Structure formats: C-alpha cells, structure tokens
Structure 1
Amino acid sequence: MRVVIAREPGTGRWLLLELQHHLIGDNTTSEVMYAEVRTVLAGHAHELSAPQPFRNLVAQARLGVDAKAHEEFFRTMLADIDEPNLPFGLSEVHGDGSGVGEAHRMLPQALNDRLREQARRLGVSLASLCHLAWGQVVARSSGRQQVVFGTVLFGRMHAGTGADRTMGLFINTLPVRLDLDGTGVAANVRATHRRLCELLAHEHASLALAQRCSGVAAPAPLFGALLNYRHNTPAAMAGSGTDDGLSGMEWLGGEERTNYPLTLSVEDFGEALGLTAQVVEPISADRVCGYMQRALEQLAEALEHAPNTPVRELDILPAEERTYLLEDLNRTAAAYPSERCIQELFEQQVRQAPEAVALVHEDEELSY
C-alpha cells in the first residue's frame, strides 16, 4: 500500500491518494482500516481493540478442506471444459487498465421487487438469480451453452472468530460452471443455487488448482468474465459528500481494476439493485449493463409466467439494440429514378462520362 499526499496550489486544501494492491486487502479490510483512522483522529486510539492476526485465516484454510477434496469437486465440475470461455473474444487487460471502460446503472425498482419475490418463492438467494442471468449473458456473448465464469467469494464466512475485524485479503475468485440447455428456468435457478452452496465449502481453494482440474491447458485462462455480487450500504455508491466520521474531509472518488477483461458487479443495497460493468475497449460497458438488465427481466418474466421455459431461450438484447441491429443497420432504402429503365440509365452514364471505367475483370477494363 502507498499513500501520497499533496497540497493544492493556491488553496489550503490537502489531497490524499491511496494506492492498494488487491493482494493485501478487500472491502472489509478498507472499512476496518478507515474505522481505526477515525478512532485515532477522534483521540480515542487507546480504545482500539487488539489487531486480529491474518495467520488465523491461513491456518483455517490449510486445516480445513484438504486439497484432494478440492480437486475432486473441481474435476467433477470442469473436467470436460477444454476451451477458454471468453465472452466477445476478450482474453486479457493490456497495460495499466486505462483502456477499461466503466458504467453504472440502477435497476428499476419494480424489477428489483420482482426478482426478490421470485427468490423468496423458490427459496434461493437473489445472488443465484443474478448468477444465472450473468451466465446467459456469458453464453450469448461466447456462443456456448456450457459456460464458466469467475465468481467472487466473501471468504469470511468460515474464517473463524474475529474474521469480521481482520485486515487482509479474504475474498477469493473461483470458477462456477452453468449448463444453459433445455432445462426449465425454475429448475436451473435451483441448480445454480445448489452449485453456489457447494462452492462455499471450497471458498479457500486455489484458483490455480481449480484451473488444473479443467481440460484447459495453462497458460490459457479458463475464463475471461467475472461476477462480483456485493452487499453495499446506500452510501457506498454515492461517490460524493463527506464521510460521517471525518469532519472536514471530502471523498473525491475511487477506482478499482482487475486483470479480467469483463467484470460485472451486482450492487445489492438491500431494497435496491445496481450494476457496475468494467470492460476493455472496444466493447461498451453500458451495453453490458443493458444485456444483464434484459437477462434479469427475461428471468423474472419466465419465473412468473412460464417457469418451464428452457433457460437457453432467454433473451439478452434490449429492445433498442434489437431495433438498431435489425432495422437501423438494414435501412438501405434510397431514392433513385425509378421511372426510367436500366438501359436508359446506362445510356445516360455513357453520355456523361464515356471514358469512365464500367467493368474490371483481372487485368482488363471496359469503359462505358
């Protein structure tokens, strides 16, 4: 971690920039750190609790599920996957990530309510519905029915006492495989929920181990898309205003980057849902948000009215993009002198430009 400070010329304002590699921390780490900073600045440093050692997680991970169990689970899930799953053909982020576009959007409240109602009715998590919808986006953008993408696991659920106050990297990225075939939507939602529950038992497995259990040979990536389902407070996405514990300080903004060329974060605010997409150029991040919103709308519609609809039939194209692709791009009508015959038009061209080239065949040319 690096912290850089500078005084703004001509004002009494100081700016602070924090650079943190994801190797050493996650969102909870940042929250713990900022809470300690607030405590110190308030003059209550003596009230800080004893730091929780990160080695507790290391021990938990090493003494928990053994490598053989991890390997058996991932081999069962991935052994027949022999090609990288790369939506839009995107395989990596080049350079420092400056060529990555980012887009945010809040989903309509009615869609949020419908999705939560269906999750309750089926007895599954809302995250399961979102994973299935994202699987459909990945499937349509990569031409696959068996899709693999990365999902971010919180990592603190089974990390022992005090894990909620420990600083360090707990999150883990692991592959999840979904089969988007002729199975009905409701059945596929339940299957996705089961798969995610099974994955939780392996949340501290190595991604390298999981990849070795597939048929994709290193150094090729197993997948190029990532889904991060995040539980947020409403203020987490505001991006403005002041921090309630740091009087006189203003939050100017932040930026996060990964090595995945296609990342979608679902922002769960408890009673509202948002989307954040990060995509390498030339794919538009806002288009990706549109695909995900459409997939969620189609999923809610099918669960409400036709739960046996094959999941592969769900659409991801928003109405405006469908119109653009099928109508706007094909709008080729043009005015022309329709009252004259083709030979008359040819004769007119002969009179106007008799020496202009009319036909070319290999090395031969014919003028009008």
Structure 2
Amino acid sequence: MNPQIEDILPLSPTQQGLLFHTLYDENKSAAYVVQFTFDLTGPLDAAALKAAAEALVQRHANLRARFLHHTAEPVQIIVRQITLPWQDIDLRDLTPQEREAELMRWLQEDRVRPFEPAQAPLLRFALIQLAPQRARLVFTSHHILLDGWSMPIFLNELFVLYRTRGDDSALAPPVPYRNYLGWLKHQDRDKSLSAWKESLSGLAEPTLLTADQIEKSGRQEILACSLSQELTQSLGGRARQHGLTLNTLLQGAWGLLLGRLTGREDVVFGITVSGRPPELPGVERMVGLFINTVPLRLRFQLLEPVAQAMVRLQDEQSAMAAHQHLGLSEIQRLAGFPALFDTLFVFENYPVDANARGLAHDPLQVSRASGHGGDKTHYPLSVVAIPGTQLQLRVGYRPDLWDRAAVEQLVARLQQVLHAIAADPSQPIGG
C-alpha cells in the first residue's frame, strides 16, 4: 500500500448517495456544503486553536478521507497526513457596519464554495477576528464526512484539545468510524430486505406532491416559522399522554396532511434516522456520517382516532428500527417504484446541546452562531422540526417547483393539523 494511504474503506449507503448526487446531479456542486459558525468571546490563542483543529483531524481518520467512484465499488481512501485548510481573517480595523457586511459576504461565499470529493480533506476552518476578545470560528465541510449528530462531539473534543494544546490524553481513545462500516458489513441484509418488503407490501403507488421533476436544480429556499410556546407545550403533553414521542406525533401530523393533499389513506414520505446502532460499542462517541433516509408509511382510516393511528405508527417504526441501515435505493427497488416519495421529514433532536460550549470558569466562551446547509436536500420539499420551548419548522423547497405562497399555505395547513391534535387527539382523523 502507498505509504501516504492509511486505510481504504467502503462507503455507507448514505455516503454512496451523497457521492452520487455530488458527482452526477446538475448544479449540485455546493448543495452538500455544510457551514457551522461559532462565536468566541474572551481571550483567544489562535495558534492553539489551529493546533487543536489539526489534532482533531488527525485523531479521527475518516475526516482525512477522499472519495473515489471510478472503481468497481466507490471507496474512501484515508490519507495519512493532510495540510489543514485554515484561514486567519482580521476584520477588527473595520467600522461595525463594514465588518458586518464583510463577514456576511465572506460567509456566503464560503458556503457556496464546493469540495472536490477526490481531494482530501473535505473540510476547512477559518478564524475571523471581529473585535478585541471577540472572534468567529467557521467550520465548513462536505456532508459526506459527518452529520449534525456528530457536531456536539466534534466541538467538545476541539475545545478539550484547545485547552490541552493538542494533547488528546484528556480524551477517551477515539472510536473509529471504520467500526461502524464493519458493523454494516455484518448485518443480515436478507433479513432487512424481507422486513422492508413486508412493510411496503400492498402499496399501490408512490406519494408525490410534485408531478414534474424533470429539471434538475440545486437551488433551495427556506421558509422558517416557530410555533407558540403554548402549542409546543400542548403537543408535548399530548405525546406523553399517549406514550408517543414528539417525533412520532409530528411525523403523524405530516402524514395526515399528505393524505389530505393526495386524497389517500396510505401515504409514504422520507424520514431521516440517526443511524447509530445502540449495540455498537462507543457509537455515541463516534464522529462521522450515520444518518440515513428511509421511507415511513402511514396507513389510517378517516373514522379512527388520531391517537390510535399514531400509536400504531410508533409500533411499526419500532419494529423497523433494526433495519433502518439499508440504503434507500435498495428499499425502493423492493417496492417496485423508482421513487417512493418526494417529501422529507426531519426531527432534528441532537443527543447533546450544540448551542453552547465552555464552562462558567473558562475564560473563553463558545456559543453556536449559525448553521447552513445541513438541512438542504435534493427533494422538492423537506420539513425540519427543531424542538425547543418553541418548536421551529424549517421548510426547504425548490423554487422551480414550488412558489413561496404555496409553501406558506402548506405550513399554515400543517399548523392547523397540529392545533387539532393538541386540542383533541381522540377525535376521528376525518374531522
């Protein structure tokens, strides 16, 4: 093996899909660029922060991967050593208005600058000095490297390494992503195929809200709104009352709305699952791409109570949990359709709070400033629900297929469904 190559690994099903779309979809070059920004307040050692980032990328081998598709099977090649892409930018001499304008211009330019999958690493850092004891750290990567669930782990380790000047002895030994790829290889594929075939049996047709998807477009716009604190609390209470997760309740609400929009009582849409198998040792500490998109099927009758349909949905989802690692393309072939759905529902509930970092006694305080790109998909319409004191909804849509007024109406109808469930989940669905 080439001494510059540390390892050669297969891709997870989600990585394969992202690589395919990156390479072959028109105008998608920046569609899977994910940018996270963090505000840093207090005394900062810029050299130590860069050293920590270098140590972090060295610590997690899969962050040094490059991806090749011109082999019999796509592979990720782990490069032994990389030069960390790092920019130091100083905006401290600008006026507040100039500084803000330049910061926004640079961030926008960065988030549309694509990565070349065959060139490692598919990540970059920038440290932007804004004022005395105030800076912004920008971490940008291709989505094929890691998911949102990995970011709290990533950020925590970065600042442990910062405080120890790159000495990772204060951290538990890393659990390599290759362990997860090995776990995938040893799963009973036939058993999972059989489970999905049974789950989708009798499905008459796909659930598609958009008939014409011939034109390829990487453009996506976002419509964001927040539910009231009262409605958010009421939905949480109704979920607990019936032994449901809030995720199931929201999935059910979206499925019922799809049923209304399509005139069916048997609908399918995509969901994103965390993909971290609990039986895999150390999976909660792994950094990488685990999420997967799989179909969710909701069958209901107009006369049955809403809560009854949702309890059944949750039971069916629990039964399929062990099979959610299978690739979507394989699942869709089982159903006999080239595509099962054109809408995606995501419940963004990361296991650790990613919005704040730093202990009270730490001189440097770290807080999440923004994130862009992680919720963009190639689907015409996606709904991302972000829990909190006020539940947030971020609806991504392709403007070549949906106009904003239609999306606003759709969101208003979804909120009507949620209000009805909060008011009385025992009422019949047809009501």
Structure 2: gaps of 5 or more residues: 1-62, 64-83, 95-128
Q: Output the CA distance in 2 between the equivalents of 1:249 and 1:262.
A: 33
1:164 to 1:180, Cα distance in 2 relative to 1, 3 A: same
Aligned to 1:295: 417
Q: 1:27 aligns with which of 148, 155, 159?
A: 148
CA contact under 8 A between 1:92 and 1:259: conserved in structure 2?
Answer: no
Aligned to 1:224: 342
Query: Which runs of structure 2 are paired with 1:85-100 in the superposition (5 Å)?
Result: 85-89=207-211, 91=213, 94-97=216-219, 100=220
Instruction: Give secondary structure in 2 for the equivalent of 1:104.
Output: strand
Q: Output the CA distance in 2 between the equivalents of 1:250 and 1:187.
A: 41
Amino acid at match of 2:344: L
* TM-score of the superposed pair, with normalisation by structure 2: 0.62
Amino acid at match of 1:56: N
Aligned to 2:377: 258
Deviation digits for residues 175-221 of structure 1, max 9, x if unmatched? 011123333322211111112212212121221221111121x3xx2
Structure 1: gaps of 5 or more residues: 315-368
Q: 1:132 aligns with which of 252, 272, 275?
A: 252
Q: 1:175 aligns with which of 288, 295, 314?
A: 295
Amino acid at match of 1:213: L
| Alpha-carbon shift at residue 23 of structure 1 (Å) | 1.9
Q: Output the CA distance in 1 between the equivalents of 2:136 and 2:215.
A: 29
Deviation digits for residues 215-258 of structure 1, max 9, x if unmatched? 21x3xx22111111122599757xxxx85479377755321221
| Alpha-carbon shift at residue 264 of structure 1 (Å) | 0.8
Structure 1 position 52 matched with structure 2 position 170: no
1:167 to 1:235, Cα distance in 2 relative to 1, 3 A: closer
1:283 to 1:70, Cα distance in 2 relative to 1, 3 A: farther
Aligned to 1:198: 319
Aligned to 1:109: 229
Instruction: Give secondary structure in 1 for the equivalent of 2:335.
Output: coil
Query: Which runs of structure 2 are paired with 1:151-190 in the superposition (5 Å)?
Result: 151-182=271-302, 183-190=304-311
Q: Output the CA distance in 2 between the equivalents of 1:185 and 1:23.
A: 38
Deviation digits for residues 135-191 of structure 1, max 9, x if unmatched? 022223334331111111112242512111111111111101112333332221111
CA contact under 8 A between 1:60 and 1:160: conserved in structure 2?
Answer: yes
Instruction: Give secondary structure in 2 for the equivalent of 1:58.
Output: helix
CA contact under 8 A between 1:267 and 1:273: conserved in structure 2?
Answer: yes
Instruction: Give secondary structure in 2 for the equivalent of 1:20.
Output: strand
Aligned to 1:118: 238
1:194 to 1:283, Cα distance in 2 relative to 1, 3 A: farther
| Alpha-carbon shift at residue 81 of structure 1 (Å) | 3.1
Structure 1 position 7 matched with structure 2 position 89: yes
Structure 1 position 280 matched with structure 2 position 403: no
* TM-score of the superposed pair, with normalisation by structure 1: 0.71
Q: 1:61 aligns with which of 165, 177, 184?
A: 184
CA contact under 8 A between 2:272 and 2:291: conserved in structure 1?
Answer: yes
Count how many residue pairs are aligned between Structure 1 and Structure 2.
298
CA contact under 8 A between 2:149 and 2:350: conserved in structure 1?
Answer: no
Q: Output the CA distance in 1 between the equivalents of 2:300 and 2:214.
A: 25
Aligned to 2:386: 267
Output the aligned Cα RMSD: 3.0
1:234 to 1:250, Cα distance in 2 relative to 1, 3 A: closer
Q: Output the CA distance in 2 between the equivalents of 1:101 and 1:143.
A: 27
1:125 to 1:16, Cα distance in 2 relative to 1, 3 A: closer
Identical residues among aligned pairs (%): 23
| Alpha-carbon shift at residue 121 of structure 1 (Å) | 2.0
